[in-house]
Amino acid sequence: MQFGIFSVGDVTPDPTDGSTPTEHERIKAILRIALKAEEVGLDVFATGEHHNPPFVPSSPTTMLGWIAAHTERLVLSTATTLITTNDPVKIAEDFAMLQHVADGRTDVMLGRGNTGPVYPWFGKDIRQGIPLAIENYALLHQLWREDVVDWQGRFRTPLQSFTSTPRPLDGVPPFVWHGSIRSPEIAEQAAYYGDGFFANNIFWPKDHFKRLIGLYRQRYAHYGHGTAEQAIVGLGGQAFMRKNSQDAVREFRPYFDNAPVYGHGPTMEEFTAETPLTVGSPQQVIERTLSFREAFGDYQRQLFLMDHAGLPLKTVLEQLDLLGEEVVPVLRREFAARRPAGVPEAPTHEDLRARKREDEAARVGAGVGEPGENAEESA
């Protein structure tokens, strides 16, 4: 199982002293946080993509390329890359390039984006959000798998004899996660392609996400990619920890009370009872995270939101120390002990490359040309 962090990339005043980082300070802080993720033994760093203040990460692959150069093991991902307003051709190029730069340590999470004005800024219409996600991904999928593409669709100019460069590393496209907070259509899309499905699982009660993930698992099996239990699920979560849970509650409360998303609404106690937010000791975070498995089944990737609500960089780095030293080692052990045989890990580039070679060998061995027809299921 993979553990990591995802950053929204907001520039938010620290409510305890009123200070606001500059864009430059925040961008540098995000990069520092990503390096810290590798230092403390996490597996994944994912950045959001936004095109409006107070958010800074408008150009994720630029940031991820820098992080790739300064890390060795960390998988670089997004949360999310806008499949609606970005040109799928540019996504194909940017992430194939990142794959080469990072020696395969990259995947991508696609999402629609829910900020209305961003769509017209990029010449699109939010009311076409689902059709844009479906058509653009169909093209992206094709661009990464076919060297020369002839294509015609509804939302961009046609392509004749187009080759997206560079070609994916080792001929293996980056693994794709589809993130959604409320659209069964996107769960269906992820299942159809056999891609991963990520439910951000923060801010809302879990019953909502149980329906979405349940649908994805059922349809994943329907499309023959494996059993429902073998579907590739990722979850978000958020936590604030101190060794003593009362210290965590006291320190985090002003950040909670003024947080851009939920501040000035329910009390922290009400919100932590109803949503996955955990404010307390590392042990409480461990127990809460293990409860996700009870609700959603065995899953492959857990991302935590740690740098938000105006928390200073120093505090976020301390949080990552606790996450890496006290929480994740226990979670790795406990999740592994509970995981039945046959439930796969989240696929890495090496896994996908090996699977591709097996598929090719099986095809040659069977002497048939139909892709995948005799491919053995890799456990």
Partner 1 sequence: MSTAPVKLAVVSAGLSEPSSTRLLADRLAAAASRGLETAGREPQVQHVELRDLATEIAQNFVTGFAGEELKQALDDVAQAEGLIAVTPVFSASYSGLFKSFFDVMENTALTGKPVLIGATGGTPRHSLVLDHALRPLFSYLRAVVVPTAVYAATDDWGSADDGLTPSLPGRIECAGAELARLTRACGPAVAVAEPEAGAEDEEAVGEQAPHLKVVAQAPSGDPYEDVVPFAQQLAALRPEE
Among 263, 297, 312, 344, binds partner 1 (CB under 8 A): 263
CB-nearer residue toward partner 1: 47 or 275: 275
Gap between the Cα atoms of 149 and 152, Å rounded: 10
Q: Could you tell me the CA-to-CA distances from 352 to 174, 177, 301, 346 in Å, in that order? A: 9, 14, 16, 10
In the window 168-187, what residues touch partner 1 (CB under 8 A)? 182-185, 187
In the window 112-131, what residues touch partner 1 (CB under 8 A)? 112, 114-116, 125-131
Is 345 a binding residue for partner 1 by CB under 8 A? The answer is: no
Is 145 a binding residue for partner 1 by CB under 8 A? The answer is: no
Is 265 a binding residue for partner 1 by CB under 8 A? The answer is: yes
Is 215 a binding residue for partner 1 by CB under 8 A? The answer is: yes
Phi and psi (nearest 5°) for 305? -90, 115
Among the listed ranges 36-44, 245-253, 256-264, 347-355, the one in contact with partner 1 (CB under 8 A) is: 256-264
202 pairs with which residues across the strands?
none
**Residue 143 in 3-state DSSP?**
helix
State in angstroms the smallest separation of the CB of 317 from partner 1. 29
State in angstroms the smallest separation of the CB of 203 from partner 1. 7
Give me 68's structure tokens. 């790739």
Gap between the Cα atoms of 273 and 12, Å rounded: 25
Is 203 a binding residue for partner 1 by CB under 8 A? The answer is: yes
Q: Are 132 and 83 in contact (CB under 8 A)?
A: yes
Q: Are 164 and 93 in contact (CB under 8 A)?
A: yes
Among the listed ranges 39-47, 95-103, 202-210, 331-339, the one in contact with partner 1 (CB under 8 A) is: 202-210
Q: Are 198 and 107 in contact (CB under 8 A)?
A: no
Is 262 a binding residue for partner 1 by CB under 8 A? The answer is: yes
Among 100, 192, 253, 326, binds partner 1 (CB under 8 A): 192
Q: Are 240 and 248 in contact (CB under 8 A)?
A: yes
Give me 107's structure tokens. 């995947």
List residues binding partner 1 (CB under 8 A). 112, 114-116, 125-131, 134-135, 138, 152-154, 182-185, 187-189, 191-192, 203-205, 208, 211-212, 214-215, 219, 262-266, 270-271, 274
